[in-house]
Amino acid sequence: MTTLPLFWSCDAPAEGGCCGSDNKQYIYGGWAWAWWCISDTQRISLEIMTLQPRCEDVETAEGVALTVTGVAQVKIMTEKELLAVACEQFLGKNVQDIKNVVLQTLEGHLRSILGTLTVEQIYQDRDQFAKLVREVAAPDVGRMGIEILSFTIKDVYDKVSYLSSLGKTQTAIVQRDADIGVAEAERDAGIREAECKKEMLDIKFMADTKVANSKRAFEMQKAAFSQEINVKTAEAQLAYELQGAKEQQKIRQEEIEIEVVQRRKQIDVEEKEIIRTEKELMATVKLPAEAEAHRMQQIAEGEKVKQVLIARAEGEKIRKIGEAEALVIEAIGKAEAEKMKLKAEAYQQYGEAAKIAMVLDALPQIAAKVSAPLSKVDEIVILSGENHKLTSDLNRLLAEVPASVHALTGVDLSKIPLIQKATGAKA
C-alpha cells in the first residue's frame, strides 16, 4: 500500500466569515478530515523512483569519448521542511515528470564529473566514480526535496576501442603477473621442498647422531663394565697368586729350614772330617813341609840380602859417576862462561868492528843455509834481454844484502868501506 501525503487548504474572507483561513497541512501515513467544496486536497507519491542516466560520447580529461550508463534510486524525503519543498516543486506533476527533472540533474552532474577524470579512473574504480557523482548531485536534488538512495555505474564503453586496448594491456599485465606468480610459486615450492629435504636430513642427522651417541654411551658403559670386571678379575687372580706365593714361600722356608738343619749336620760331619784330615796331614805332610819351607825361607832371605847389597853398590857407583860428570859439566860451563865473558869484554873493547867481524864470520853459514835448496838445482838460467840489465839486477841484489843483514842482526854493513865500494853506497 502506497502512502500519500495529503495537502489541503481552507480559503475564507479576510474579515469575519466562517472560512477565511489560509492554512496548509501535510499528512503522510495517516488520515485527516477535509471539507467538501471547501478544502483543496492534492497527493504526491513517496515511492522509490528508478532512474537510468545515460551520457553518450562525453570526453574525459584525456579527450577520450566515453558512453556511461548508470542506475539511480531516488525518492521524496519525508522530513516536514523537505517534504514542503518537494510539494512546492512537484505538486500537480506526475511521477514521470519528477523522474525527468531528477534524471536531467544527474546526467548533468555525470557529464561534468566525466570531464575531470581519466579513463582509467572511471573504468577501474567505478565505485569511487559513482560515489563522487552521488556526493556532487546530492545537494542539488536535495534542494528539490529528493534523496538519492543509491547510484551505481552500469556500463562504460567507447567507440574507438580504447577500453578494449586498455583491457588487453591489463590482461597482458595480469598474464605477466600470473606467469610471475606461477614462477615464484614454483620457486617457493622448490625452496620449500629443499627446506623440507634439509629439515628431513637435519632430523635424520640428529637421529643418527643420537643413535651414534647412544651407541657410544653404550660402548663406553660396556667398556667401563668390562674394565671393572677385568680389574676385579685381575685383583682376584693377583690375590690368588699372592696367596699361592705366600704358601710357596712358607713351603720354601720350611724346606730351607730343613736344608739348614741338614747342612748343619753335614758341616758337623765335614768339620770332623777336616779335623781328622788335618791331623793326618799334620803327621804326614805339614811337619815335613814346614821344615822344607823354613829351609827355603832361609835361602831366600840370604839371596835377598845379597841382591840388596849388590843394588846398593851399583847405586853408589852410579851416584859417584854422576857426581863426577856433574863436576866436569860444571867446569866446562864455567870455562865456556869465562870464554864468553872474555869475548864480551873483547867485543866491548873492539866495539862495532868486533860485531861486524862476528857477522862476517856468520855470513857464510847463513848463506849456506839459505842456498841449501838451490844445491838440488842442476842449472839456473837467467833470462834478460840485455847484458847491462843482468849486471844491474846483480848489483841490485848485492845492494839489498846489507839491508837484509841489518834487519836480521841490527849490524849496518853499509858502513864497511869494502861493501860500500861493492854496492856503490855513500858513507
Give the pLDDT score at 17.
Answer: 36
Q: How far apart are CA 305 and CA 172, in angstroms?
A: 150
Per-residue pLDDT for 342 more than 70?
yes
Torsion of CA 231, 232, 236, 238, to 10 degrees: 10
Q: How far apart are CA 71 and CA 69, in angstroms?
A: 7
Domains of the chain: 23-160 (3.30.479.30)
C-alpha cell at 271: 768339620
Per-residue pLDDT for 88 more than 70?
yes
Radius of gyration of the chain (CA): 82
Give the pLDDT score at 121.
Answer: 77
Lowest mean pLDDT among 170-184, 259-273, 348-362, 411-425: 411-425
Overall residue count recorded for the chain in this entry: 427
Give the pLDDT score at 297.
Answer: 79
Per-residue pLDDT for 64 more than 70?
yes
Give the pLDDT score at 288.
Answer: 72
pLDDT in tens, 286-331: 677 777 777 787 787 878 887 888 888 887 878 888 888 888 888 8
C-alpha cell at 292: 822344607
How many H helices and E strands in the chain?
9, 6
Per-residue pLDDT for 12 more than 60?
no
* pLDDT (average), residues 46-72: 85
Lowest mean pLDDT among 113-127, 153-167, 317-331: 153-167
236-237-239 Cα angle (round to 5): 65
Per-residue pLDDT for 411 more than 70?
no
Question: What angle separates helix 80-90 from helix 95-114, to the nearest 10 degrees?
Answer: 100
pLDDT in tens, 212-254: 888 888 888 888 888 888 888 888 888 888 888 888 888 888 8
Per-residue pLDDT for 394 more than 70?
no
Q: What ranges in 371-425 are assigned the alpha helix state H? A: 387-409, 417-423
